[in-house]
Amino acid sequence: MPLEASEEVFAALTRRHLDSAYRLAWAILGDTGDADDATQDAFALAWRARRSLLDPARFDAWFGRILVNVCRQRLRQRARSVIRPLDEDAEPAIADASQQTSARDAISRAMARLDADHRIVVVLRYWADLPVDEIAARLDVPAGTVKSRLHYALRSMRPRLEEPR
Amino acid sequence: MKDNDFDRDLETEVRAELRRSIVPPATPEYVRDRVERLAAEAVERAGHRRPLRPRRPRVSWPFGGMVAVAAIVAVVAAASFWRSTQEQSATGSTPMLGPTASIAPGTVLHMSVTADGGGFVYTDGDGLRVTADRGVTWSEARQVPARDSAQDHLWDLASLDFVDAQHGWITGVKNTSQGSQVVVYGTGDGGRTWQSAPATSLLPDPSPAQGSFVAAEDHFWDALHGRVVVGRVVPNDGEMAGCQWYATDDGGVTWSGPTSGPCIGLSPMVRWTTDAIGYFVPTDAPTSVSVTQDGGRTWRTAPLPGLSVETILPEMLIVDGVGHLSLVTSVSPSEGLAPQLVFGSSDGGVTWSKELDMTLPAGFDTVDSVSALGPQHWIAVVEVAPGPITTGTPQAQYGYTRFAETVDGGRTWSLIDGGGIQGAGGSLWWDDRRGMTAAGDPMKIFVTDDGGRTWRPVPF
């Protein structure tokens, strides 16, 4: 029984989801400044578009789509205007002989090689632990596309992760 | 090491390392302030504005005999937006307190009733509660085959579908490492036990090249007859490759199909007035309505006169004892029409005419979530505007939700004395006395046995 949210309810929804939105933006963008901007932009967009939220119970998915789109735009802008390319082969700033740290660095480097769409599905699936259908809803693509992106993302990460550590 | 093993290991490694390495900081205060400012400005702007467009219930209306006595079937997929923290037992005429900013947790995910007195409430984290006596007594919490995060997606709450107090089905898509699979579970004992129906075996994804199942929806119009509509996407294409239909005439023991068919039920969603009578607004004809009276085997689509391009929101389709259809709709104010219209059809939905502009009395801002207790007897949630009805309450600048009824098919409406639970989003009815609703923060179920004049919370 979808109901349209009043301004008060919508405001409460935005408050309730702020922290999780910020965390997700940060996870996708990996940068505090970008996450700050993306979060604010997403909520501003959400207020402008709130009449399109036909079912407040679906706020999470509805807003998630807005947030992910904003993050995707920022990732693409970043890709077009990189001033200092990420040194994918750089050693960790603080050397750590543990295998865990080495694996983490390998993951980070592998993630850095992904384009925006693939990075997003990886974060949503493996960091946010969202099911494929929810990711599909947030990206406005079929579930099959999500699976395909995950598949290709992992495939492209695979050689990097297979490198000797 | 095989590829599949490697992929599984890789997924595990990626998941673990991402969780270790991505540790976002706390939300900066200036971001919080900005978001709060956006909210405060919007709420302030809304302070004197008319409340919102009417709501969309999914209703059902079993009828039989003379004039129908109603039971309304609805899916309450909303729970997190009810606007009051003030739960009312609604036993008196105490003015409703105004809304606050708090939101109830999204607990009640499904409510429905059946014509034989069955009632079902599925609560996230609790399970399925069942009544077989029109809400007088309720069962312990029963578990249903539910979403399994390890398998991505097992079923959609919208596909939880009971045809009577004993028989119900759940249909969904399960994603596994071998591909996607449509699954159907059925119960014949009111949800105590669930069996995987044989449809499961006929629908393992036959070939990955044909794409993945992405959605499935069932509709049963009695304990024996039903169908499942399945949507599929083609790999690396992303387009929905059409839908397939499977049918059963023996309660899911055997299935026929698949046959190609429209994706009705998946998109657009169908609202079922009875298990045989359903309706939807076609996406490519937003001022028309499609109606079926045979459980979805055939559909008739016809325009609703006097509307331009605005999408209508069908509130309820009512069928009287002689087959006359009445469609209560809501339209955007930009149409220049009354916000609620009633269309009628005496030829089964081949043609429609406008029968009524529902002019609401002063003090009513909207009539939402209409439920039919009879062809002319409807109960709705109303937004009561600030003014005569609510003056004297300190929070009177906001609208309140109350129950109102009409006994003349929407021509005149009156508030139900003492009836009202702040934040109720709609009501379901077994007959003209007994009904239930959900409201409050945290959300609770309320039942009435006097037509909505008093409401009793159900203790679970």
Per-residue pLDDT tens for B277-306? 888 878 677 788 999 988 888 899 999 888
Which residues of chain B lie closer than 8 angstroms to A107, CB-CB?
13-14, 17-18, 21
**How many domains are there within chain B?**
2
B255 in the same domain as B303? no
pLDDT interval class at B183 (50, 70, 90):
confident
Q: What is the mean pLDDT of residues B330-344?
A: 69
Of A9, A47, A132, the CB nearest to B81: A9
Best mean pLDDT range from B39-48, B221-230, B303-312: B221-230
Determine the Cα–Cα distance for residues B204 and B183; give it in Å rounded to an integer.
9
For tokens 């409460």, the residue is: A12
A112 has a chain B CB within 8 A of its CB: no
Q: What is the mean pLDDT of residues B24-34?
A: 88
**Residue B348 counted as domain residue:** yes
Of A12, A127, A136, the CB nearest to B19: A127
Which residues of chain A lie closer than 8 angstroms to B18, CB-CB?
27, 107, 111, 122-123, 126-127
B444 in the same domain as B329? yes
A49 has a chain B CB within 8 A of its CB: no
B324 in the same domain as B231? no
* The pLDDT value given to residue B193: 92
A88 has a chain B CB within 8 A of its CB: no
Q: What is the CATH number of the domain that holds B102?
A: 2.120.10
- Tokens representing B455? 């409401």
State the CB neighbour count (10 A cutoff) for residue B334.
9
| Among the listed residues B362, B402, B409, B358, the one whose alpha carbon sits nearest the alpha carbon of residue B381 | B402
Which residues of chain B lie closer than 8 angstroms to A27, CB-CB?
18, 22, 24
* The pLDDT value given to residue B179: 59
DSSP letter for A124, please.
I
Tell whether the model's pLDDT for residue B374 goes beyond 80.
Answer: yes
Query: What are the backbone dihedrals phi and psi of residue B193, each rounded to the nearest 5 degrees, phi first?
Result: -130, 155
Asked whether the beta carbons of residue A127 and residue B15 sit closer than 8 angstroms, the reply is yes
**Residue B356 counted as domain residue:** yes
Of B11, B103, B240, the CB nearest to A13: B103
* The pLDDT value given to residue B398: 37
* The pLDDT value given to residue B191: 93
Asked whether the beta carbons of residue B79 and residue A57 sit closer than 8 angstroms, the reply is yes
Please, is B309 exposed, middle or buried when counting C-beta atoms within 10 Å of its C-beta (0-12, 13-18, 19+)?
Answer: exposed
**Residue B21 counted as domain residue:** no
* Residue B372 three-state SS: strand
**How close B250 gets to chain A, by Cα (Å)?**
30
Tell whether the model's pLDDT for residue B335 goes beyond 60.
Answer: no
A1 has a chain B CB within 8 A of its CB: yes
Q: Give all strands of the β-sheet with B325-330 in edge-to-edge order.
A: B313-319, B325-330, B340-345, B353-357
Q: Give all strands of the β-sheet with B240-248 in edge-to-edge order.
A: B212-220, B226-233, B240-248, B256-261
Tell whether the model's pLDDT for residue B13 goes beyond 60.
Answer: yes
pLDDT interval class at B136 (50, 70, 90):
very high
Outline where DSSP puts E strands in B115-178. 119-123, 127-131, 161-162, 168-176
**Residue B135 counted as domain residue:** no
Of A1, A14, A144, the CB nearest to B76: A1
* The pLDDT value given to residue A141: 74
pLDDT interval class at B396 (50, 70, 90):
very low
Interface of A with B in 3-42 (CB under 8 A): 3-16, 18-19, 22-23, 26-27, 30, 32, 35-36, 39-40
Which residues of chain B lie closer than 8 angstroms to A58, CB-CB?
77
* The pLDDT value given to residue B165: 94
- Give the chain A residue nearest B29 (alpha carbons): A36
* The pLDDT value given to residue B187: 92
B201 in the same domain as B182? yes
Q: Which among B243, B270, B297 is the end of a domain?
A: B270
pLDDT interval class at B101 (50, 70, 90):
very low
B334 in the same domain as B393? yes
Asked whether the beta carbons of residue A12 and residue B19 sit closer than 8 angstroms, the reply is no
Tell whether the model's pLDDT for residue B69 goes beyond 50.
Answer: no
Asked whether the beta carbons of residue A39 and residue B31 sit closer than 8 angstroms, the reply is yes
Tell whether the model's pLDDT for residue B26 goes beyond 60.
Answer: yes
More confident residue, B94 or B372: B372
| Among the listed residues B309, B270, B304, B306, the one whose alpha carbon sits nearest the alpha carbon of residue B289 | B304
* The pLDDT value given to residue A146: 84
B293 in the same domain as B308? yes
State the CB neighbour count (10 A cutoff) for residue B150.
8
**How close B152 gets to chain A, by Cα (Å)?**
5
Per-residue pLDDT tens for B157-178? 557 889 999 999 888 766 555 6
pLDDT interval class at B155 (50, 70, 90):
low
**Residue B345 counted as domain residue:** yes
**Residue B110 counted as domain residue:** yes
| Among the listed residues B383, B46, B80, the one whose alpha carbon sits nearest the alpha carbon of residue A47 | B46
Mutate to test the interface with A, among B15, B19, B20, B35 (most CBs of A within 10 A): B35
**Residue B230 counted as domain residue:** yes
**Greatest pairwise CA separation for chain A in angstroms:** 56
* The pLDDT value given to residue B313: 66
Asked if B457 and B445 count as a contact pair (C-beta separation under 8 A), the reply is: yes
A154 has a chain B CB within 8 A of its CB: yes
A48 has a chain B CB within 8 A of its CB: no
Which residues of chain B lie closer than 8 angstroms to A165, CB-CB?
none
* The pLDDT value given to residue B198: 52
Asked whether the beta carbons of residue B81 and residue A5 sit closer than 8 angstroms, the reply is yes
B355 in the same domain as B251? no
* The pLDDT value given to residue B256: 84
Mutate to test the interface with A, among B50, B80, B366 (most CBs of A within 10 A): B80
Determine the Cα–Cα distance for residues B32 and B135; give it in Å rounded to an integer.
44
B228 in the same domain as B211? yes
Tell whether the model's pLDDT for residue B56 goes beyond 70.
Answer: no
* The pLDDT value given to residue B118: 95
Of A3, A27, A133, the CB nearest to B153: A133
B283 in the same domain as B245? no
B262 in the same domain as B192? yes
Determine the Cα–Cα distance for residues B11 and B1; give it in Å rounded to an integer.
15
**Residue B257 counted as domain residue:** yes
Q: What is the residue range of B148's domain? A: 142-162+164-270
Q: What is the mean pLDDT of residues B372-381?
A: 86
Q: What is the CATH number of the domain that holds B209?
A: 2.120.10.10
More confident residue, B424 or B297: B297
CB pairs under 8 A between A and B: 198
B249 in the same domain as B342? no
**How close B194 gets to chain A, by Cα (Å)?**
24
DSSP letter for B163, please.
S
B331 in the same domain as B396? yes
Q: Which among B270, B301, B334 is the end of a domain?
A: B270
Per-residue pLDDT tens for B103-128? 233 456 678 899 899 999 887 677 89
pLDDT interval class at B387 (50, 70, 90):
very low
* The pLDDT value given to residue A24: 93
| Among the listed residues B197, B208, B271, the one whose alpha carbon sits nearest the alpha carbon of residue B237 | B208
Which residues of chain B lie closer than 8 angstroms to A33, CB-CB?
none
pLDDT interval class at B419 (50, 70, 90):
low
State the CB neighbour count (10 A cutoff) for residue B360.
19
Asked whether the beta carbons of residue A8 and residue B100 sit closer than 8 angstroms, the reply is yes
Which residues of chain A lie closer than 8 angstroms to B14, CB-CB?
107, 122, 126, 154, 157
Asked whether the beta carbons of residue A40 and residue B35 sit closer than 8 angstroms, the reply is yes
Asked whether the beta carbons of residue B24 and residue A100 sit closer than 8 angstroms, the reply is no
Q: Which domains does chain A carry?
A: 1-83 (1.10.1740.10), 88-165 (1.10.10.10)
Please give the mean pLDDT across all residues of chain B: 69
Asked whether the beta carbons of residue B43 and residue A7 sit closer than 8 angstroms, the reply is yes
Of B175, B236, B240, the CB nearest to A148: B236
User: Could you list the mean pLDDT of each consecutive 10-residue stretch along chain A, which spans 165 residues?
Assistant: 56 86 92 89 80 69 84 76 38 38 68 85 90 80 81 80 59
Q: Which among B270, B302, B321 is the end of a domain?
A: B270
